Amino acid sequence: MPSRCLSGSRRITQPTRPCVFYNPVGFDPTAVLPFHLHRYADYARFFLQILYTQRVFKEVKDEFVPLKAAYLRRFFPSNAVYKQVREALLASETIVCDGVCYQADTLTWRNLNDRHRSGKCYGYKLGPRWEGVRHEQIISVLPE
């Protein structure tokens, strides 16, 4: 798991140790999030952390990293916060989305795309401003 503070449950508890994120040098989430989302700055850092780890461990360089929304939502306090943080990151071009998503085959749904028969999540990558920027370790503690 990328961070011990952002556990998979929706319940926020007092962390026993600080959260560690790897984000591009100079990235300030309060500069890209609207004022009412500033208290969720660590969740924006977490989103970029997931992109970084997936790129490094799956050896994906210039491609979009598929991230399943159902997986990401587990780490956010609510679905609304997830959507607002993601939309703010997209609007500021901190991240870029490929805009392609296919539902997997089910008993009531037939996916006609043979390449993505089992489904495909939206893909994300860092925006043009952050593409070639080195990442640094950031230590943060989630507020209560």
Is 103 inside any structural domain? yes
Whole-number Å distance between alpha carbons of 42 and 48: 10
Task: Provide the domain limits for residue 94.
Answer: 19-140
Summarised one tens digit per residue, pLDDT across range 83-139 is: 999 999 999 999 999 988 777 766 666 666 666 666 778 899 999 998 888 988 888
Is 11 inside any structural domain? no
**pLDDT the model gives residue 58:** 76
Instruction: Return the exposure string of 26-36: e unless at least 16 CB atoms fall within 10 Å of the residue's CB, then b.
Output: ebebeebbeee
**pLDDT the model gives residue 25:** 92
Is 7 inside any structural domain? no
Summarised one tens digit per residue, pLDDT across range 32-87 is: 999 999 999 999 999 999 998 888 787 777 788 888 888 899 999 999 999 999 99
**pLDDT the model gives residue 79:** 93
Residue 130's closest CA among 42, 32, 16, 38? 32
Is 123 inside any structural domain? yes
pLDDT of residue 3 exceeding 60: no
pLDDT of residue 141 exceeding 80: no
**pLDDT the model gives residue 13:** 54
Is 136 inside any structural domain? yes
Summarised one tens digit per residue, pLDDT across range 10-21 is: 555 554 567 889
pTM of the predicted model as reported, rounded to 2 decimal places:
0.77
- Characterise 65 by phi-psi region: left (phi > 0), alpha (psi -120 to 50), beta (else): beta
Instruction: Quote the number of domains for the chain.
Output: 1
Is 13 inside any structural domain? no
Is 3 inside any structural domain? no
